[in-house]
Amino acid sequence: MKISPIMREYLGEIYRLARSPEGVSTSALAERLEVSPSAVARMLRRLDAAGMLSHVPYQGVQLTPQGEREALAAIRRHRLLEAFLVNVMGFHWDEVHEQAHGLQLTITDAFEDRMDIVAGFPTHCPHGDPIPTKDGRMAATDDCPLPDLPPNTTAVLRRVKTTDGEKLRYLEELGLMPGSALRVIHHAPFNGPLRLQANGRDHVIGMELAKTLRVTPAD
């Protein structure tokens, strides 16, 4: 069975959810892809019949090796589009997720290859996530959520795990973008806000936003 762009998009989202705290569920897929739960259920049956995934009792769905290859191809195209839109087209990082979401269903493999060249063979998307290679390899990430760091720790911001445009614009105003150095100053108790320093300024950010920031302690 030939895999359609929409089927590949589903596989990419299943791959992402399987590595997130919420896990793979019909409701999570429906929310991520902005479709109904019944549409998700129908697509999962199609992907199962195509040999792209299998149902695991009490664990939901699991991608087969073929399904994982297709998922990584979808993720590569989306993240490469985001890098292209920022590096070449001049979009801001808070605009590119929705643009890439629509474009990834329409471009050809040849267009993707040319886009990779023109964008300078980017290895990460504007939000810091690694772009899978053309042969389906994903670079490992070795980072942790910002709230996991103890006070007085210096770190480097590696990834920002949100597609919310308002949050991304706010983080940019604070100078908190992938590659930025920061220092955790204080954790308020009972899931309270964090105080940190970045670009020579002190900032206080809520726990919800702090959890979207993935960092590595500085050497």
- pTM comes to 0.89
Percent of the chain scoring above 70 in pLDDT: 98
Residue 61 clears pLDDT 90, i.e. is over it: no
- Which secondary structure element, helix H or strand E, spans residue 76, and what is its range? helix 65-87
Of 67, 91, 121, which residue constitutes the final position of a domain?
67
Q: In the 8-state DSSP scheme, what is residue 20?
A: S
Instruction: Give residue 3's pLDDT.
Output: 86
Assigned domain for 88 exists: no
Assigned domain for 13 exists: yes
Percent of the chain scoring above 90 in pLDDT: 79
Assigned domain for 96 exists: no
Overall domain count for the chain: 2
* Cα 18 from Cα 208, distance rounded (Å): 21
CB neighbours (10 Å) of residue 58?
4
Instruction: Express each pLDDT in 15-40 by its tens digit.
Output: 999 888 777 888 889 988 889 999 99
Q: In the 8-state DSSP scheme, what is residue 130?
A: B
CB neighbours (10 Å) of residue 216?
15
Instruction: Give residue 152's pLDDT.
Output: 92
Instruction: Give residue 22's pLDDT.
Output: 76
Segment 203-211 long-range contacts (CB within 8 Å, at least 24 positions apart) = 203/174, 203/176, 205/174, 207/147, 209/162, 209/167, 209/170, 209/171, 210/145, 210/146, 210/147, 211/145, 211/146, 211/147
Assigned domain for 86 exists: no
Domain span at 56: 5-67
* Cα 200 from Cα 203, distance rounded (Å): 10
